[in-house]
Chain A
Amino acid sequence: MSNDRRLSAPGRLSDEDHGAENAGVLTAYMPDEPLAEFALAHGLRVAAERPPIGRYLKNLWQRRHFIMAFATARNIAMYTEARLGQLWQVLTPLLNAGVYFLVFGELLHVSRGIPNYLDFLVTGVFVMNFTTRAFITSSTVITESLPLIRALHFPRAALPLAYVMIELEQMMLSLVVLAIILVCTGEPISVYWLLAIPALLLQTVFCVGCGLATARLGANVNDFSQLLPFLTRTWLYVSGVLYNITTLDISRKWVALLQINPAAIYITLMRDALLATQRESQPGAQPFNKLKCQTWHLSPAKHLDWSAYCAPITNPDHYWLYGIAWAVLAIVVGFYFFWRAEAQYGRG
């Protein structure tokens, strides 16, 4: 504290004297009216003001090259330390799927009643992995990018957007691997595969919306990003990644709720697009037949695709509507929620 004492030593420098000290010098600078009024009267604006939504979106579009460049830079940085590099992007979900297949398919026989369980599982794991990763990586993007945020002006939404783009790139790579697996396991290549494109598009919009929301939450709540893996894991277990939701021994209302949760919707859309076995065995695919349906419920392993003769709990035609609704809801709410705090992200 010796420095402080020295500071106050030369006569007029101590704290109490600030007013008197400054008064003489400042008269030339300081207006008589309150500073806020003075500033506004001269047409000045608050420095850290967030732009209106329209201009914000325009700025964001202008930064599209930045978003891609930032995504590439992060992607390279993320994998430079592993020897297999970006191969891990595909290896990780594949290994996950392998573990689930072993435990749930072979040991616990969750696979009963599901034709081509391996493809059912791998598709589910890959799609869910995209959602999960988008949530988790976005939650830390603000903290990780503080030097950038504190150095330059740009719409901060570019950062979570870039992180979701990284995950989308990984997802597309995973889909190529998935296509190879599907062909090798006897799923036919069909025009239905084209439906994977709108399904992925809707899921991406959903992930961007949610990524924006988790980015803000992760910036404000210190431990949000620690808790998130726990929440997404729970989500994975209730979303029919590993099993067929309709076989659950719960009320129809709960089945319907689980079926229309966004994670399950995007998984179902992708499965129906890529897997002929799923399209043909989903409830409602054949005219309702009580006997065949009950037989399937009683001994599902023997009549794999008789589930098609049951009545659907959620109309399959509505899956696309739910997919669109979730995407729109997520992007609107997520974007608004993120934009509200635009000026605050530099605080950390």
Chain B
Amino acid sequence: MDAGKPMVVVDDLHVVYRVFGAGGDRGTAATALLRIMGRKTRGSIREVHAIRGVSFVAYRGDAVGLIGRNGSGKSTLLRAVAGLLPAERGNVYTDGEAALLGVNAALLDDLTGERNVVLGCLAMGMTKKETKEKYPGIVEFSGMGSRLRFAIAASKSQDILLVDEALATGDAEFRVKSHARIEELRQDAGTVFLVAHNLEEVEQTCNRVIWLERGQIVTQGENVIEIIDRYIAASGGAPVERDPVTGKRIHARVPLKA
């Protein structure tokens, strides 16, 4: 358990991915042929250059908060670290496989939440029996929604844990539960990355923060509160009232410790 061991190295990473618009023109075989010949892309397909040259190193025991506005590349960066999105340029190096916990969307839209959970468990390599055993726990842990819950229940202790907007959904009780779970996982000697809308959660969970804008790092460091205050000022928010000694928020809204 070497505390100084690097767990995630991101080296001048660029990520490009394609977005397929809903509908789009179906076209005919002939127009398709012309498009292939002419190397034209269809109007409804967009290429997004979401990460533009990001470098950082995260070490064992780090809990890194990613902040930045919508579309700044936070979720994309997590997916690249998880190995789910390929690097266009540069590279991501990890010590072992990183587990991504997200709540964004269902795996398959036209399935029920229940089927999504089962499918997710099977996709992660569980046997039918394990899925059956885990299922009540997953559902009980959540109460609502589907993805994050089974992922958390399933991922036991991962060396690298990537949490995307996890605490943004669910009620207070669920937030307390998942916060506790993340703490637990962190103590299991891993590295945690956290994307959260709620900056208080980043303050309370993370010892480091990376501020992204338009796919690039604006700043990063261990002075979490200072960076967050600057981020709030830059995005036009009202300054946070803090205790001058501890730096803690005076009007904390999220009770994370049960």
Contact = CB atoms under 8 A, between A and B. Distances in A.
Tell me whether chain A's interface is mostly helix, strand or loop, or mixed. Answer: helix
B93 to A, nearest CB: 4
Size class of the contact patch on chain A? 35 or more
B110 A80 contact: yes
B222 A347 contact: no
Given A152-B120, A152-B123, A45 B35 contact: no
Interface in A1-50: 3, 6-7, 9-10, 13, 18, 21-22, 25-26, 28-31, 34-36, 38-40, 42-49
Given A47-B94, A80-B110, A222 B219 contact: no
B124 interface: yes
Interface string B1-33: 000011111111000111110000011110111
B125 to A, nearest CB: 5
A45 B17 contact: no
A226 B124 CA distance: 32
Given A36-B91, A66-B122, A149 B84 contact: yes
Interface string A128-169: 000000000000000101111111111000100000000000
Interface stretch (A69-77, A259-267, A305-313, A316-324): A69-77
Tell me whether chain B's interface is mostly helix, strand or loop, or mixed. Answer: mixed
Given A22-B219, A70-B119, A152-B123, A65 B128 contact: yes
B150 to A, nearest CB: 10
B217 interface: yes
B168 interface: no
Interface stretch (B98-106, B137-145, B182-190, B196-204): B98-106
Interface residues of B, number: 80
Contacts of B41: 222
Contacts of A36: 9, 11, 91, 93
Contacts of A9: 234
Given A13-B219, A43-B95, A226-B26, A147 B83 contact: no
Given A47-B81, A147-B109, A226-B28, 10 more contacts: A25-B223, A35-B93, A38-B57, A39-B6, A40-B93, A65-B122, A65-B127, A69-B122, A224-B32, A346-B17
A48 B92 contact: yes
B101 to A, nearest CB: 10
B98 to A, nearest CB: 7
Interface of B: 5-12, 16-20, 26-29, 31-33, 35-36, 41-42, 45, 55-57, 59, 79-88, 91-95, 97-98, 100, 102, 105-111, 115, 118-120, 122-125, 127-128, 147, 213, 216-223, 230, 233-236
A186 interface: no
B119 A35 contact: no
11 contacts: A6-B235, A13-B230, A22-B219, A39-B93, A40-B93, A46-B92, A47-B94, A66-B123, A73-B108, A147-B107, A154-B125
Contacts of A49: 83
A188 interface: no
A22 B217 contact: yes
B120 A222 contact: no
Contacts of A10: 230, 233-234
Which residue of A35, A62, A224, A346 has the most chain B CB atoms within 10 A of its CB atom?
A35
